[in-house]
């Protein structure tokens, strides 16, 4: 009779995964949360040797259980919608899912911006920031406009500092706002690029509102305000800056830093910059670019950031305009 051995759930999972081809095991691993992967790691670190019959028992148990029940992935509706969008496109997927019960966050996303702002104005800024982190950028900007002026900076301060939001926290907020939640799910963390999200949001505000908001943030957290300002524009955004403003910018930028920054620039941006300078200056930079050779990407990105920061300083001084609000570069 085959020897039996008692294995824990994680040990059975490790044994099963190790018996599979990598191509099969990888997508299974992708469905696991970080905590579950850690549990597998801990189980694997303690496993030394098991009888060869152990795998047969694991397989038999797996087959038996799959005949009795079917596992549904976490966030089943969101996952189904995501793969449907990839297969059918956004428009067709929206049409198909429009008749299905909307999740609390989906209902919030379709709520009138002014009404949503009114609902959120009494909530803690951290909770409001969590909601905004998951909304479409334009929608989030409209909600910020609808919030009381004194609350806007506090919300953006917290949004700018976010890196992740517990999914159940969002569900709790949604419950308080809509009095309806989808089926409970395990705790997951949703990645949030707080700085980038804040920058996109500010760029979609009116010029007057965005400047006032950044000024308020600067009084409380100057470093965060600076990060948001820098993230509002990339080096490639200079394609949308008018020629006269570009000439003023190029006067304030050392030639060697411009050459380095152009190493990874698009041809469209290079041509836009070259037409803002004399033919001789443009030819010299082209020659320097050909002779530049290999450089570290981090050095190129540092040069690009320096030039964007110069552009932001000149804009703050009123020398040039990078656009913003209704005229924002997008």
Q: How far apart are CA 111 and CA 104, in angstroms?
A: 11
Q: Which helix (H) or strand (E) holds 190?
A: strand 189-191
Q: What is the pLDDT of residue 185?
A: 34
222 or 3, greater pLDDT: 222
Q: What is the arithmetic mean of pLDDT over 193-201?
A: 83
Cα–Cα dist 281/311, whole Å = 20
At residue 86, φ and ψ (nearest 5 deg) are -65, -35
Mean pLDDT over each residue of the chain, to the nearest integer: 77
pLDDT value for 144: 92
User: pLDDT: is 71 or 265 the higher one?
Assistant: 265
pLDDT of residue 79: 56
Q: What is the pLDDT of residues 263-291, one digit of tens each?
A: 888 889 999 999 888 889 889 989 888 88
pLDDT at residue 69, as a whole number: 52
Domain 104-213, CATH among 3.40.50.10470, 3.40.50.720, 3.20.20.450, 1.10.220.30: 1.10.220.30
pLDDT tens-place string over residues 84-126: 666 666 666 665 665 555 566 777 777 778 878 887 888 888 8
**Tens-place pLDDT, residues 43-55:** 777 776 777 677 7
Tokens 């999200």, residue?
197
- CA–CA distance from 229 to each of 93, 258, 277 (Å)? 36, 21, 27
d(CA 52, CA 15) in angstroms, rounded, equals 11
DSSP letter at 205 equals S
- Quick one: what percent of the chain has pLDDT higher than 90? 3
> What pLDDT sits at residue 68?
55
235-327 CATH choice from 1.10.220.30, 1.10.240.10, 3.50.50.60, 3.40.50.720: 1.10.220.30
Q: Is the pTM of this model over 0.85?
A: no
* Residue 37, pLDDT above cutoff 70: yes
Same fold, 104-213 and 235-327: yes
Domain boundaries, the chain: 9-68, 104-213, 235-327
**Distance of alpha carbon 263 from alpha carbon 304, whole angstroms:** 10
Is pLDDT of 230 > 70? yes
Q: Which of 90-94, 192-196, 197-201, 318-322 has the highest mean pLDDT?
A: 197-201
CA distance 190 to 185: 13
């Amino acid at each position: 009779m085959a020897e039996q051995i008692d294995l824990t759930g994680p040990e059975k999972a490790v044994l099963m995964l190790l018996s599979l081809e990598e191509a099969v095991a990888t997508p299974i691993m992708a469905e696991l949360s970080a905590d579950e992967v850690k549990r597998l790691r801990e189980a694997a670190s303690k496993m030394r040797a098991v009888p060869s019959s152990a795998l047969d028992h694991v397989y038999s148990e797996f087959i038996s259980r799959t005949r009795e029940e079917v596992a549904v992935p976490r966030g089943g509706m969101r996952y189904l919608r995501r793969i449907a969008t990839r297969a059918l496109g956004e428009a067709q997927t929206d049409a198909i899912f429009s008749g299905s019960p909307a999740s609390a966050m989906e209902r919030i996303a379709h709520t009138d911006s002014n009404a949503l702002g009114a609902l959120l104005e009494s909530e803690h800024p951290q909770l409001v920031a969590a909601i905004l982190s998951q909304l479409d950028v334009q929608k989030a900007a409209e909600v910020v406009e609808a919030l009381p002026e004194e609350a806007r900076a506090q919300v953006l301060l917290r949004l700018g500092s976010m890196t992740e939001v517990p999914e159940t926290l969002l569900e709790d907020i949604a419950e308080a706002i809509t009095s309806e939640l989808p089926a409970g799910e395990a705790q997951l963390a949703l990645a949030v690029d707080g700085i980038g999200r804040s920058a996109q949001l500010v760029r979609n505000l009116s010029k007057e509102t965005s400047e006032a908001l950044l000024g308020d943030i600067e009084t409380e957290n100057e470093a965060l305000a600076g990060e948001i300002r820098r993230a509002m524009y990339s080096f490639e955004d200079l394609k949308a800056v008018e020629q006269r403003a570009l000439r003023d910018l190029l006067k304030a930028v050392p030639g060697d830093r411009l050459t380095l920054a152009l190493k990874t620039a698009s041809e469209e941006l290079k041509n836009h910059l070259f037409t803002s300078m004399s033919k001789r200056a443009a030819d010299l930079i082209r020659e320097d670019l050909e002779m530049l050779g290999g450089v570290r990407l981090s050095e190129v990105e540092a040069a690009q950031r320096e030039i964007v920061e110069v552009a932001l300083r000149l804009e703050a001084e009123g020398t040039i305009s990078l656009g913003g609000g209704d005229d924002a570069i997008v």
